[in-house]
Amino acid sequence: MENKIKIAFLISTLDVGGAERQLVNSVNGLDTDKFIPKIFVLKNRSKILDQLNSNIDVEFLNVTSYFNFFQITKILHRIKKFNPDILHSVMYASNMIARLYKLKDNNCKIINHIHGLGTWIKIRHILLDRILLPLVDLIIVVSEESKSLRLSRELYPKNKVKVIYNSIDTSKYIGIKRITDKTDEIIFGSAARLIKLKQIDKILIIIKLLKEKGLKVKYYVAGDGPEFEYLVKYSKDLNLENEVKFYGNICSMESFYSSIDVLILFSKTEDMPLSIVEAFAAGLFVIAPDIGGISELLCNRDGYLIDPNSSIENISEKILQLSKIIDFKKVSIKNKETAINYFDNKIHNKILQSTYFYLLNA
């Protein structure tokens, strides 16, 4: 192709989060014979920078305030210097800034990518969103639940919203072999940023109750965050030193998933968590709350949806009963097929790149 399409990606950080990891997956999967990508990172945080392909250009803008006129002007100037055909932004702050760029270059197509259900959003955020809404060409969300929410809360036009599921490189996980005949012990695991919203402390109580009910159980936690020290101490207070391990951030998630039997989540809110998609690819049984995009992920698949209004005691009893009947071999086959057929990077990238072409030709 003589004239490659220039795509600028705008994101707040390259920290270890689902939105950031999905961006890396998307950029790495672009056909470089057709596209020239460049990532603009608002803040100087780059924990997953090494996961990007070496040929991807990244520019850190060292922004300290989203309310500083001069810093916003600098961002728009740096993007304009690249002169993209498409500006694809991720998350709220980047999305609003991307819309402002439309005022600088009306020919550039603006794509906003939204992860999460925005439970933190206040009226002022929605007002700014609505004021700048005419400047965006397409809004990508990662679940039908998110789409429904945005149509009713943010009042997005239906023709501007498109659902594209998160994705992973399933080939990294498909080779993981599950233990199919183990009945004496079940190893649960969680992969998450350790913040209050994830409610890891409630999972610790569930593990304690399962132990008291006679189930031989272990619980491994991958991830870091402000709750790390508290959770380590809390697990000791519950006398779970021999059952619980906190690994912090893990570079190779494949090794983590190969060490557990069941992924368990108990977040207050979730959209389309990558950890569940990774667990599917690894052939794991998944236990997660019946909220947000999780309901879509686990519908008619091998997993268990927790009623978030149920008591911890009832949840632990249900999990105990499930532990006696889970067919790990069947789960492994079915969930791996699900990951390959619906959540592989190749599928995501094909949809995303066709979306780029459609926008430019519209």
Structure tokens that stand for 24 in this block: 């890396």
Q: Which of 257, 247, 249, 250 is nearest to 173 (CA)?
A: 257
Condensed to tens digits (0 to 9), the pLDDT of residues 33-75 reads 999 999 999 999 888 888 899 999 999 999 999 989 999 999 9
Average pLDDT value for residue range 294-309? 84
Compute the distance between CA of residue 97 and CA of residue 51 in angstroms, rounded to an integer. Answer: 25
The CATH class of the 5-167+344-361 domain is: alpha beta
Compute the distance between CA of residue 36 and CA of residue 56 in angstroms, rounded to an integer. Answer: 9
CB 221 within 8 A of CB 247: yes
Compute the distance between CA of residue 302 and CA of residue 17 in angstroms, rounded to an integer. Answer: 25
Compute the distance between CA of residue 290 and CA of residue 288 in angstroms, rounded to an integer. Answer: 7
CB 10 within 8 A of CB 90: yes
Instruction: Express as a percent the part of the chain with pLDDT over 70.
Output: 98
- DSSP result, 204-229: HHHHHHHHHTT--EEEEEEB-STTHH
Where are the CATH 3.40.50.2000 domain residues in the chain? 5-167+344-361, 171-342
Position 181 confidence tier, pLDDT thresholds 50, 70, 90: low
Residue 198 pLDDT more than 90? Answer: yes
pLDDT of 283 reads 93
Condensed to tens digits (0 to 9), the pLDDT of residues 229-240 reads 999 999 999 999
What interhelical angle do 69-82 and 92-104 show, nearest 10?
A: 70
- The 57-60 sheet, strands edge to edge: 57-60, 35-41, 5-11, 86-90, 109-114, 138-141, 161-163
Position 180 confidence tier, pLDDT thresholds 50, 70, 90: very low
For 63, left (φ over 0), alpha (ψ -120 to 50), or beta? beta
Second CATH level (architecture) for the domain 171-342: 3-Layer(aba) Sandwich (3.40)
- Cα-Cα-Cα-Cα torsion 45, 80, 87, 11, nearest 10 degrees, comes to 10
pLDDT of 129 reads 97
